[in-house]
Structure 1
Amino acid sequence: MNVLVIDDNQIDLLINQRVILNLRPTAHVVSCLSGIEGLKFIEQCISGGICEQFPDLILLDIRMPLMDGYEFLDKMLDMIKHCEKRPFVVMVTSSIDTGDYEKSQTYPEVKGYLSKPLKQTAMLEILEKLNF
Protein backbone atom coordinates (compact mmCIF):
# COMPACT_ATOMS: atom_id res chain seq x y z
CA MET A 1 0.00 0.00 0.00
CA ASN A 2 1.32 3.42 -1.00
CA VAL A 3 0.28 6.38 1.14
CA LEU A 4 0.83 10.07 0.47
CA VAL A 5 0.48 12.29 3.54
CA ILE A 6 0.08 16.03 2.95
CA ASP A 7 0.11 18.43 5.88
CA ASP A 8 1.82 21.74 6.54
CA ASN A 9 2.64 20.74 10.13
CA GLN A 10 5.75 18.59 10.59
CA ILE A 11 4.44 17.06 13.83
CA ASP A 12 1.16 16.03 12.21
CA LEU A 13 3.10 14.50 9.31
CA LEU A 14 5.10 12.42 11.79
CA ILE A 15 2.00 11.36 13.75
CA ASN A 16 0.14 10.39 10.59
CA GLN A 17 3.09 8.44 9.26
CA ARG A 18 3.51 6.55 12.55
CA VAL A 19 -0.18 5.70 12.74
CA ILE A 20 -0.11 4.27 9.22
CA LEU A 21 3.09 2.31 9.80
CA ASN A 22 1.85 0.96 13.14
CA LEU A 23 -1.27 -0.36 11.39
CA ARG A 24 0.39 -1.41 8.13
CA PRO A 25 4.14 -1.87 8.68
CA THR A 26 4.80 -2.70 5.02
CA ALA A 27 3.16 0.49 3.73
CA HIS A 28 5.27 2.88 1.68
CA VAL A 29 4.63 6.37 3.09
CA VAL A 30 5.64 9.63 1.40
CA SER A 31 5.17 12.87 3.34
CA CYS A 32 4.78 16.34 1.82
CA LEU A 33 4.63 19.68 3.64
CA SER A 34 2.29 21.29 1.10
CA GLY A 35 -0.21 20.57 -1.62
CA ILE A 36 2.32 21.91 -4.10
CA GLU A 37 4.87 19.27 -3.00
CA GLY A 38 2.12 16.64 -3.20
CA LEU A 39 1.28 17.61 -6.78
CA LYS A 40 4.95 17.45 -7.72
CA PHE A 41 5.13 13.93 -6.29
CA ILE A 42 2.00 12.85 -8.21
CA GLU A 43 3.46 14.37 -11.40
CA GLN A 44 6.70 12.42 -10.85
CA CYS A 45 4.69 9.24 -10.43
CA ILE A 46 2.82 9.85 -13.68
CA SER A 47 5.58 11.15 -15.91
CA GLY A 48 8.74 10.05 -14.15
CA GLY A 49 8.22 6.34 -14.36
CA ILE A 50 7.68 5.64 -10.66
CA CYS A 51 4.15 4.34 -11.13
CA GLU A 52 4.72 1.69 -8.48
CA GLN A 53 4.80 4.54 -5.91
CA PHE A 54 1.53 6.14 -7.09
CA PRO A 55 -0.57 6.54 -3.94
CA ASP A 56 -3.40 4.18 -3.13
CA LEU A 57 -4.38 6.47 -0.28
CA ILE A 58 -3.87 10.17 0.40
CA LEU A 59 -4.18 11.64 3.90
CA LEU A 60 -4.88 15.30 3.23
CA ASP A 61 -4.99 18.31 5.53
CA ILE A 62 -7.66 20.86 4.58
CA ARG A 63 -6.28 24.11 5.97
CA MET A 64 -2.84 24.82 4.55
CA PRO A 65 -1.22 28.03 3.32
CA LEU A 66 -0.62 28.59 -0.40
CA MET A 67 -2.89 25.73 -1.46
CA ASP A 68 -5.63 24.22 0.70
CA GLY A 69 -6.71 20.59 0.54
CA TYR A 70 -9.58 21.29 -1.85
CA GLU A 71 -7.34 23.17 -4.28
CA PHE A 72 -4.96 20.21 -4.15
CA LEU A 73 -7.83 17.80 -4.84
CA ASP A 74 -9.08 19.82 -7.82
CA LYS A 75 -5.61 20.07 -9.38
CA MET A 76 -4.77 16.44 -8.68
CA LEU A 77 -8.03 15.17 -10.16
CA ASP A 78 -7.41 17.19 -13.30
CA MET A 79 -3.85 15.87 -13.45
CA ILE A 80 -4.88 12.21 -13.14
CA LYS A 81 -8.06 12.32 -15.24
CA HIS A 82 -6.54 9.93 -17.79
CA CYS A 83 -4.93 7.61 -15.24
CA GLU A 84 -6.41 4.20 -14.60
CA LYS A 85 -5.45 4.22 -10.94
CA ARG A 86 -7.38 6.58 -8.65
CA PRO A 87 -6.28 7.18 -5.07
CA PHE A 88 -8.70 7.21 -2.16
CA VAL A 89 -8.56 10.39 -0.07
CA VAL A 90 -9.05 10.84 3.66
CA MET A 91 -9.31 14.39 4.93
CA VAL A 92 -7.46 14.85 8.24
CA THR A 93 -8.21 18.18 9.84
CA SER A 94 -8.40 20.25 12.98
CA SER A 95 -11.21 22.31 11.44
CA ILE A 96 -14.54 22.40 13.25
CA ASP A 97 -16.22 24.10 10.30
CA THR A 98 -19.14 21.88 9.23
CA GLY A 99 -18.83 23.41 5.76
CA ASP A 100 -15.49 21.62 5.35
CA TYR A 101 -17.11 18.25 5.98
CA GLU A 102 -20.00 19.03 3.64
CA LYS A 103 -17.62 20.16 0.90
CA SER A 104 -15.50 17.01 1.30
CA GLN A 105 -18.59 14.92 0.61
CA THR A 106 -18.90 16.43 -2.88
CA TYR A 107 -15.74 14.56 -3.94
CA PRO A 108 -16.35 10.85 -4.68
CA GLU A 109 -12.64 10.17 -4.02
CA VAL A 110 -12.97 11.32 -0.39
CA LYS A 111 -13.67 8.19 1.63
CA GLY A 112 -13.12 9.56 5.12
CA TYR A 113 -12.98 12.68 7.26
CA LEU A 114 -10.95 12.43 10.46
CA SER A 115 -10.02 14.87 13.20
CA LYS A 116 -6.48 15.67 14.29
CA PRO A 117 -4.59 14.25 15.93
CA LEU A 118 -5.05 11.10 13.89
CA LYS A 119 -5.95 8.14 16.07
CA GLN A 120 -5.18 4.51 15.25
CA THR A 121 -8.73 3.30 15.88
CA ALA A 122 -10.25 5.82 13.46
CA MET A 123 -7.61 5.13 10.81
CA LEU A 124 -8.02 1.37 11.21
CA GLU A 125 -11.75 1.71 10.48
CA ILE A 126 -10.94 3.59 7.26
CA LEU A 127 -8.30 1.05 6.19
CA GLU A 128 -10.68 -1.83 6.79
CA LYS A 129 -13.50 -0.04 4.95
CA LEU A 130 -11.18 0.45 1.95
CA ASN A 131 -9.82 -3.13 2.19
CA PHE A 132 -6.23 -2.08 2.86
Structure 2
Amino acid sequence: MTKRMARKTVAVLGAAAAVTGLSVVNSPTASAAGEWCNHQTCFTINTDGRFVGRIETSVWSQNIQGATIKTHIWATNGQFDLWTKSENVDAFTTYRDFKDINQDVPPGTRICVEGWQNGVSRGLPCVAVTD
Protein backbone atom coordinates (compact mmCIF):
# COMPACT_ATOMS: atom_id res chain seq x y z
CA MET A 1 0.00 0.00 0.00
CA THR A 2 1.40 3.39 -0.97
CA LYS A 3 1.44 6.40 1.32
CA ARG A 4 -1.17 8.06 -0.86
CA MET A 5 -3.56 5.09 -0.54
CA ALA A 6 -2.93 4.95 3.21
CA ARG A 7 -3.84 8.65 3.55
CA LYS A 8 -7.03 8.15 1.53
CA THR A 9 -7.96 5.15 3.67
CA VAL A 10 -7.37 7.12 6.85
CA ALA A 11 -9.40 10.03 5.45
CA VAL A 12 -12.29 7.74 4.50
CA LEU A 13 -12.21 6.04 7.92
CA GLY A 14 -12.08 9.44 9.62
CA ALA A 15 -15.06 10.65 7.61
CA ALA A 16 -16.97 7.47 8.46
CA ALA A 17 -16.19 7.96 12.14
CA ALA A 18 -17.35 11.57 11.94
CA VAL A 19 -20.61 10.55 10.26
CA THR A 20 -21.14 7.82 12.84
CA GLY A 21 -20.46 10.32 15.61
CA LEU A 22 -23.02 12.70 14.15
CA SER A 23 -25.61 9.97 13.86
CA VAL A 24 -25.08 9.09 17.53
CA VAL A 25 -25.52 12.73 18.50
CA ASN A 26 -28.74 12.89 16.46
CA SER A 27 -30.16 9.64 17.83
CA PRO A 28 -33.40 9.76 19.85
CA THR A 29 -33.15 10.74 23.47
CA ALA A 30 -32.96 8.05 26.10
CA SER A 31 -36.33 6.97 27.36
CA ALA A 32 -37.68 5.91 30.70
CA ALA A 33 -39.24 2.77 29.21
CA GLY A 34 -39.03 -0.24 31.47
CA GLU A 35 -40.30 -1.73 34.72
CA TRP A 36 -39.44 -0.71 38.28
CA CYS A 37 -40.45 -2.23 41.61
CA ASN A 38 -40.11 -1.40 45.28
CA HIS A 39 -41.52 -3.75 47.90
CA GLN A 40 -45.04 -4.75 46.73
CA THR A 41 -45.44 -1.98 44.13
CA CYS A 42 -44.32 -2.10 40.48
CA PHE A 43 -44.86 0.05 37.41
CA THR A 44 -44.04 -0.03 33.73
CA ILE A 45 -43.78 2.90 31.35
CA ASN A 46 -44.51 2.74 27.65
CA THR A 47 -42.53 5.50 25.98
CA ASP A 48 -41.12 6.75 22.72
CA GLY A 49 -38.11 8.84 23.62
CA ARG A 50 -39.23 11.24 26.34
CA PHE A 51 -42.88 10.90 25.34
CA VAL A 52 -44.61 8.99 28.14
CA GLY A 53 -47.65 7.12 26.89
CA ARG A 54 -49.12 4.72 29.43
CA ILE A 55 -48.01 3.96 32.98
CA GLU A 56 -49.19 0.57 34.24
CA THR A 57 -49.17 -0.09 37.99
CA SER A 58 -49.46 -3.19 40.14
CA VAL A 59 -49.59 -3.88 43.89
CA TRP A 60 -49.44 -7.32 45.53
CA SER A 61 -52.12 -7.72 48.23
CA GLN A 62 -50.17 -10.28 50.32
CA ASN A 63 -52.34 -12.38 52.61
CA ILE A 64 -54.72 -9.54 53.53
CA GLN A 65 -58.32 -10.43 52.67
CA GLY A 66 -60.49 -7.58 51.38
CA ALA A 67 -57.62 -5.12 50.97
CA THR A 68 -58.44 -1.74 49.43
CA ILE A 69 -55.65 -0.84 46.99
CA LYS A 70 -54.91 2.15 44.78
CA THR A 71 -51.80 3.81 43.33
CA HIS A 72 -50.57 7.37 43.14
CA ILE A 73 -48.65 8.34 39.97
CA TRP A 74 -46.78 11.64 39.70
CA ALA A 75 -43.91 13.53 38.13
CA THR A 76 -41.57 15.47 40.40
CA ASN A 77 -41.81 18.52 38.16
CA GLY A 78 -45.58 18.70 38.82
CA GLN A 79 -46.47 17.87 35.22
CA PHE A 80 -48.96 15.19 36.32
CA ASP A 81 -50.34 13.94 39.63
CA LEU A 82 -52.91 11.16 39.32
CA TRP A 83 -54.59 8.44 41.36
CA THR A 84 -55.83 5.13 40.00
CA LYS A 85 -59.20 3.74 41.07
CA SER A 86 -59.55 2.28 44.55
CA GLU A 87 -60.42 -1.39 44.44
CA ASN A 88 -61.10 -4.15 46.98
CA VAL A 89 -59.03 -7.24 46.18
CA ASP A 90 -58.77 -10.73 47.66
CA ALA A 91 -55.73 -12.02 49.51
CA PHE A 92 -52.83 -13.15 47.30
CA THR A 93 -54.04 -11.03 44.39
CA THR A 94 -52.24 -8.46 42.26
CA TYR A 95 -54.10 -5.18 41.79
CA ARG A 96 -53.50 -3.71 38.32
CA ASP A 97 -54.45 -0.39 36.78
CA PHE A 98 -53.05 2.18 34.37
CA LYS A 99 -53.13 5.84 33.41
CA ASP A 100 -52.50 7.28 29.97
CA ILE A 101 -50.11 10.21 30.36
CA ASN A 102 -49.45 11.06 26.69
CA GLN A 103 -47.00 13.89 27.40
CA ASP A 104 -43.37 14.76 26.72
CA VAL A 105 -41.42 14.69 29.99
CA PRO A 106 -38.25 16.81 30.30
CA PRO A 107 -34.93 15.23 31.30
CA GLY A 108 -34.25 15.12 35.02
CA THR A 109 -37.91 14.58 35.89
CA ARG A 110 -38.55 11.65 38.20
CA ILE A 111 -41.68 9.59 37.67
CA CYS A 112 -42.92 7.87 40.83
CA VAL A 113 -45.67 5.44 41.73
CA GLU A 114 -46.71 4.72 45.30
CA GLY A 115 -48.89 1.72 46.06
CA TRP A 116 -51.42 2.03 48.89
CA GLN A 117 -53.14 -0.83 50.69
CA ASN A 118 -55.69 -0.01 53.40
CA GLY A 119 -54.10 3.43 53.79
CA VAL A 120 -50.54 2.09 54.22
CA SER A 121 -47.76 2.69 51.68
CA ARG A 122 -46.66 -0.59 50.03
CA GLY A 123 -43.73 0.67 47.97
CA LEU A 124 -42.48 3.73 46.16
CA PRO A 125 -40.49 2.99 42.98
CA CYS A 126 -39.24 5.96 40.93
CA VAL A 127 -37.26 6.45 37.74
CA ALA A 128 -35.51 9.52 36.34
CA VAL A 129 -36.02 10.51 32.72
CA THR A 130 -32.63 11.08 31.10
CA ASP A 131 -31.58 13.06 28.08
What's the TM-score, normalizing by structure 1? Answer: 0.25
Q: Kindly indicate which of the two structures has a greater share of residues assigned to helix.
A: 1
Q: Kindly indicate which of the two structures has a greater share of residues assigned to strand.
A: 2
